[in-house]
Amino acid sequence: EVQLVQSGGGLVRPGGSLRLSCAASGFSVSDYFMHWVRQVPGKGLIWVSRIGVDPMKINYADSVKGRFTISRDNADNTLHLQMNNLRVEDTGVYYCARSLGFFWGQGTVVTVSS
Amino acid sequence: QAVVTQEPSLTVAPGGTVTLTCGSSTGAVTSGHYPYWFQQKPGQAPTTLIYETTNKHSWTPARFSGSLLGGKAALTLSGAQPEDEADYYCFLSFHEGVVFGGGTKVTVL
């Protein structure tokens, strides 16, 4: 069974950093595209980043380029999102997801506020 | 980045049929955009209904189907039920990343 369990998140001041993690089971993160998606409550879904089977194949939304870094740890079978220089507009619920079926994590809340 | 467009809202009668569409500012949507469809109810995480144009998960009700229609990806709900009232999102995959549509609020009334 495919499962994604997220951790990290919380409250941080503008300019701060956070690291989100997404522990996978039932498959290997190295075998699939993996994604991060954000949603502000009451608003739509916003794609943030993806990493391919080839770890050099990485894409980011324009709004996070240069500030966020997606990575994976094959040994721990975990996906990460390092978020630096956070802005108020980065606030939302962050979901990790696996491609080919788009299986979702449970989501984790990130609040950027002074 | 491309803009993906969806109808903001649609209403369907119980038992009726409604088709939601997902278009791209770059041109016709093809299977190469790997269209996905998601359902989200208030206070809940999204769930995936359709992946890669037409494929269903084991939990996808049979009344939902995906297709390509008139240069767009389409999600058809046939025989709408009250529990289908929700927000529906599509996304398309491009070389530079993925783009979600703005979502369609479906009312069953």
Residue type (1 letter), B47: T
Cα B83 to its chain centre, rounded Å, is 16
Is the alpha carbon torsion for B58, B5, B86, A11 positive or negative?
Answer: positive
Residues of B in contact with A103 (CB under 8 A): 48
CB of A42 within 8 Å of any CB in chain B? no
pLDDT tens digit sequence for B72-87: 999 999 999 999 999 9
**Per-residue confidence (pLDDT) for residue A67, from 0 to 100:** 98
Strands (DSSP E) contained in B4-79 are 4-5, 9-12, 17-24, 36-40, 47-51, 55-56, 64-69, 72-78
Q: Tell me which residues of chain B have a C-beta less than 8 Å from any C-beta of chain A.
A: 1, 36, 38, 40, 45-48, 51-52, 55, 57, 89, 91, 96-103
Residues of A in contact with B5 (CB under 8 A): none
- Alpha-carbon distances, residue A68 vs A13, A64, A91, A94, A95 (angstroms): 16, 6, 14, 13, 15
* Segments in chain B below pLDDT 50: none
**Per-residue confidence (pLDDT) for residue B28, from 0 to 100:** 97
Cβ separation of A44 and B102 shorter than 8 Å? yes
Cβ separation of A45 and B91 shorter than 8 Å? yes
* Residue A71 reports pLDDT greater than 90: yes
- Alpha-carbon distances, residue B56 vs A58, B8, B62 (angstroms): 27, 24, 9
Torsion angles phi and psi, residue B61, rounded to 5: -60, 145
pLDDT tens digit sequence for B54-65: 999 999 999 999
CB pairs under 8 A between A and B: 49
Cβ separation of A101 and B89 shorter than 8 Å? no
Residues of B in contact with A109 (CB under 8 A): none
Q: How many residues does chain B have?
A: 109
Number of CB atoms found within 10 A of residue B13's CB:
10
**Per-residue confidence (pLDDT) for residue B1, from 0 to 100:** 81
Helix (H) or strand (E) holding A21: strand A18-25
